[in-house]
Structure 1
Amino acid sequence: MHDLRGFFFGLTKQESKAPTPTILSAIQAAACMRPSVRISCATKRPSIALLVALVFANSSCFSAQYQPSVQEVLAALEKRSGIPETELQLLLGKCDASQSAMNICAYRDVVAADLVLQHTVARKIEQSPGCKASLEASTARWASDRARGCKQGAAKDYGSGSLAPMAESMCMTHELEQMTKRIERQRSCAR
Structure 2
Amino acid sequence: MRAAMRSLLLALTLVSTSVLASAPDPVDEIAHRSGLPASEVSAALSNCDDNQTNMNFCAWRDQIVAEQKLERVVDATAGSSAACKSTLEKRIAAWRKRRDANCSKSAAREWGGGSMLPTAVAMCKTAETERMSKAIKSAKCR
* Bucket of the pairwise TM-score, normalised by the shorter protein: 0.7 to 0.9
For 1:85, which of 38, 47, 53 is the aligned residue?
38
Instruction: Report how many aligned residue pairs link the two structures.
Output: 119
TM-score, normalisation: structure 2: 0.77
Distance 1:81 1:181, change over 3 A: farther
Q: Secondary structure at the match of 2:79?
A: helix
- Residue 117 (structure 2) aligns with: 164
Q: Distance in 2 between matches of 1:157 and 1:181?
A: 26
Q: Distance in 1 between matches of 2:48 and 2:136?
A: 31
- Residue 72 (structure 1) aligns with: 25
TM-score, normalisation: structure 1: 0.58
Q: Distance in 2 between matches of 1:143 and 1:87?
A: 30
- Aligned-pair CA distance for 1:93: 1.3
Distance 1:106 1:91, change over 3 A: same
- Residue 19 (structure 1) aligns with: none
Unaligned runs of 5+ residues in structure 2 are: 1-23
Distance 1:82 1:124, change over 3 A: farther
For 2:93, which of 98, 115, 140 is the aligned residue?
140
Q: Distance in 2 between matches of 1:83 and 1:149?
A: 29
Q: Distance in 2 between matches of 1:147 and 1:133?
A: 21
For 2:47, which of 94, 110, 117 is the aligned residue?
94
Q: Distance in 2 between matches of 1:180 and 1:81?
A: 26
- Residue 153 (structure 1) aligns with: 106
Q: Distance in 2 between matches of 1:122 and 1:77?
A: 24
- Residue 177 (structure 1) aligns with: 130
Q: Contact 2:63–2:125 (CA<8 Å) still a contact in 1?
A: yes
Q: Contact 2:78–2:141 (CA<8 Å) still a contact in 1?
A: no
Q: Secondary structure at the match of 1:161?
A: coil
Are 1:120 and 2:120 counterparts? no
Unaligned runs of 5+ residues in structure 1 are: 1-70
- Aligned-pair CA distance for 1:117: 0.5
- Aligned-partner residue type, residue 76 of structure 2: R
Q: Contact 2:77–2:140 (CA<8 Å) still a contact in 1?
A: no
Are 1:131 and 2:84 counterparts? yes
Q: CA RMSD in A?
A: 1.5
For 2:60, which of 93, 107, 112 is the aligned residue?
107
Moved over 4 A (4+): none
Q: Distance in 2 between matches of 1:120 and 1:79?
A: 25
Q: Secondary structure at the match of 2:136?
A: helix
Of all paired residues, the percent bearing the same amino acid is 35
